[in-house]
């Protein structure tokens, strides 16, 4: 496909720079604290608008029926909420690994909501879109806000923050980890003390899911053990991806070049505003001209 002929909307990756689990609420959902770091790379999604109300993928994602795809579910949720008769055929350029803990599916859903809100002229604001997104998954609102931010509660309490620019080597051990299985595990720690955002230091935080996942999945443990020799490293989300932090792109790519071929990887820059947020601003600025 010719990128010049398609209006692609970015669907960026994120990292959980830390993830503390404080307990559960009355509904049984886990209460957490985390720092979502937006990255400058990810998937891309294009939308061909239709007038017949039909919503479908131009090519179904392997192993995921359209009715279960978060992209289609997000589009149908917005369509129902806005009571529009418009539809869309959706094309996904998939780059992020599924089940990697870097937000692939949640980011896809957020991009769909943000893009079609503009393309269908639904005129929902960011807060309204984020409320819709929360119906699809706890991580969807952070991508709709599109800002690097601390998050609390079940992920819905978002506090944007600017942190020093870092580069990240994100590596994938090639396995899929179920978030639901991790959070259902009896050995998952659920008693971390709440921390003050202002006191955040990477080295004084952790990922409460990491020990459980590395105990169950030696592939993740082996990758982490390899990376930590070169730079501060940690698992993101519930895995399976892990990341190492660097001060420069050159340093990250130097270590990437040494990574064994059995592991896939990419280098990304941490950004305060996600590519999706920037795209949304550009589209709105163009429509105001």
- For residue 122 the two structure tokens come to 């639904």
- For residue 145 the two structure tokens come to 């806000």
Between the alpha carbon of residue 234 and those of residues 76, 95, 134, 240, the distances in Å are 36, 21, 26, 11
CA distance 175 to 81: 36
Between the alpha carbon of residue 179 and those of residues 209, 233, 250, 258, 284, the distances in Å are 10, 20, 33, 30, 35
Whether 3 is a known active-site residue: answer no
Residue with tokens 């609420």: 25
Whether 52 is a known active-site residue: answer no
As to burial, measured by CB atoms within 10 angstroms (0-12 exposed, 13-18 middle, 19+ buried), residue 201 is exposed
Is residue 182 helix, strand or coil? helix
Q: Which residues contact 55 (CB under 8 A, 6 or more apart)?
A: 72, 75, 76, 79, 87, 88, 90
Choose, from 43, 86, 139, 277, the residue flagged as catalytic: 139
CA distance 174 to 219: 8
What residues does 55 pair with on adjacent strands?
Answer: 88
- For residue 111 the two structure tokens come to 């991009």
Is residue 253 helix, strand or coil? helix
Choose, from 2, 3, 7, 14, the residue flagged as catalytic: 14
Indicate which residues carry an active-site annotation.
Answer: 14, 139
């Amino acid at each position: 496909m010719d990128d010049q002929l398609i209006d692609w909307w970015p669907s960026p990756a994120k990292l959980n720079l830390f993830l503390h689990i404080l307990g559960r609420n009355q509904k049984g959902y886990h209460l957490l604290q985390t720092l979502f770091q937006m990255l400058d790379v990810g998937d891309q999604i294009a939308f061909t608008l239709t007038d017949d109300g039909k919503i479908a993928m131009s090519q179904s994602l392997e192993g995921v029926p359209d009715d279960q795809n978060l992209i289609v579910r997000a589009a149908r949720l917005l369509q129902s909420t806005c009571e529009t008769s418009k539809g869309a055929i959706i094309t996904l350029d998939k780059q992020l690994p599924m089940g990697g803990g870097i937000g692939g599916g949640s980011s896809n859903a957020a991009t769909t909501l943000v893009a079609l809100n503009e393309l269908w002229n639904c005129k929902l604001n960011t807060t309204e879109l984020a409320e819709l997104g929360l119906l699809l998954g706890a991580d969807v609102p952070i991508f709709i806000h599109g800002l690097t931010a601390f998050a609390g509660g079940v992920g819905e309490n978002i506090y944007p923050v600017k942190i020093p620019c870092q580069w990240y080597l994100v590596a994938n051990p090639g396995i899929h980890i179920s978030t639901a299985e991790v959070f259902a595990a009896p050995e998952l720690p659920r008693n971390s003390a709440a921390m003050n955002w202002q006191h955040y230091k990477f080295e004084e935080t952790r990922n409460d899911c990491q020990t459980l996942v590395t105990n169950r999945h030696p592939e993740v443990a082996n990758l982490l053990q390899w990376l930590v020799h070169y730079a501060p490293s940690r698992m993101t989300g519930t895995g399976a991806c892990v990341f190492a932090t660097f001060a420069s792109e050159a340093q990250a790519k130097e270590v990437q070049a040494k990574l064994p071929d059995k592991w896939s990887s990419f280098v990304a820059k941490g950004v305060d505003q996600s590519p999706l947020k920037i795209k949304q601003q550009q589209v709105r600025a163009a429509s105001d001209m």
